[in-house]
Structure 1
Amino acid sequence: MLPFVNEDQGLVPIRPVSDEDLEAVMALAPRLAEGVAAWRDPEGAMRAAREWLAGSLAAAKSGRGAVFVAVDGGDSQVVGVVSVQRQQHFTGAVDAYVGELAVHPRAVRTGVGRRLMAAAEDWARQQGLRHLTLETGAANPAARRFYAALGYLEEGVRLTRSLETATS
């Protein structure tokens, strides 16, 4: 059963993405490029964000994953998106993996992100999966605090050293 919120409480519903949502979902791509390390190419981050969303939408359409949207009932605007699919962990276990979570700036801190993550978790449980994993940028402390508040634990750390300015 997909989680839907009570519109009487002023909360937006969460539902599976539809073809009519595609343009609005892609408009959230800039939110995915926030918090990228300062030394990374911002245009490259934007291209990647669009490609991630397009790939997740294609995976959902083919049944290899799911994409859920939060839609503001007042004007039927998509105010958030989350994608989830199966992914094999390096240990061999198959986990659910959140590829993207993006919330429109006007819907931040309204519970939309929490409810989208709940939809991804419900999908994972329905698939019989035991873990839900995701990645976020180390330079995005707001996202890291958000996921920690939901009970997510950091499992790995990626380290990068610039070779252009590094000395031996």
Structure 2
Amino acid sequence: MTPAAPRLSLRPGQPGDLPFLQSLAPRLVASAPAWRDRAAMLAEYDELFTAALTDPEPGSAVLVALLDGQSAGFTLLYWHPHDQGVFIKDLAVSADAEGQGVGRFLLTAIEEWGRQQGAQEIMLKTSWFNARAREFYAAVGFREDHVALVLRLDG
């Protein structure tokens, strides 16, 4: 008998998800260029995730993917009505859940959420150095559009 395929489900983020989101923050900053201060980036994520879960901005959402009932990934989204688009601020999958369809499941949920808002497009940013993420997004139909250049003024 073959084992049952893993079951994926989705739910809105809740304040109790803060430790889970925080546990994935290092994955979000791992591919940042060497000149970025990863400790500062992680501190910013603590504030961002806390606000997103406890005092969300209008038009934002945190969606948590569950794999067999366990938190496996999340996305933080913002609706931009003027641009008629959804911006994926963050999307991360736990190391244990990699390769099990969680990322694609979240992207499907994002598409559905965006369609409910009336979106015409979904946009995201990822580090130029994160080849794996860029390949993943390209494989599901995202196309590169903008290049961001950064000049640090603090040193």
So what's the TM-score if we normalise by structure 1?
0.78
List alignment gaps of at least 5 residues for structure 1.
1-7, 164-168
Percent identical among aligned pairs is 34
| Superimposed CA distance per residue, residues 125-155 of structure 1 (whole angstroms, 9 cap, x where no aligned partner) | 0011101101000011111111111111111
Q: Does structure 1 residue 19 correspond to structure 2 residue 15?
A: yes
- CA shift for structure 1 position 162: 7.8
Match of 1:50 among 25, 28, 46: 46
Distance of 2:137 and 2:118 partners within structure 1: 22
- CA shift for structure 1 position 124: 0.5
Tell me which amino acid in the other structure corresponds to 1:84.
L
- SS of 1:151's equivalent in the other structure is coil
Structure 1 segments, 4+ long, off by >3 Å, are 160-163
Tell me which amino acid in the other structure corresponds to 1:115.
F
Distance of 2:151 and 2:98 partners within structure 1: 33
So what's the TM-score if we normalise by structure 2?
0.84
Is the CA contact 1:66–1:84 (under 8 Å) kept in the aligned structure 2? yes
List alignment gaps of at least 5 residues for structure 2.
none
Tell me which amino acid in the other structure corresponds to 1:65.
S
| Superimposed CA distance per residue, residues 84-118 of structure 1 (whole angstroms, 9 cap, x where no aligned partner) | 12136xxx523111111011011112110111111
Is the deviation greater in 23-32 or in 136-145? Answer: 23-32
| Superimposed CA distance per residue, residues 3-47 of structure 1 (whole angstroms, 9 cap, x where no aligned partner) | xxxxx5313212222333232222221111121011111212212
Match of 1:136 among 84, 101, 126: 126
CA-based RMSD of the aligned residues comes to: 2.4
Is the deviation greater in 23-32 or in 47-56? Answer: 47-56
Q: Which residue of 1 aligns with 2:59?
A: 64
Distance of 1:55 and 1:154 partners within structure 2: 30
Q: Which residue of 2 aligns with 1:82?
A: 75
Q: Which residue of 1 aligns with 2:115?
A: 125
Distance of 2:50 and 2:104 partners within structure 1: 23
- How many residues end up aligned between the 2 structures? 151
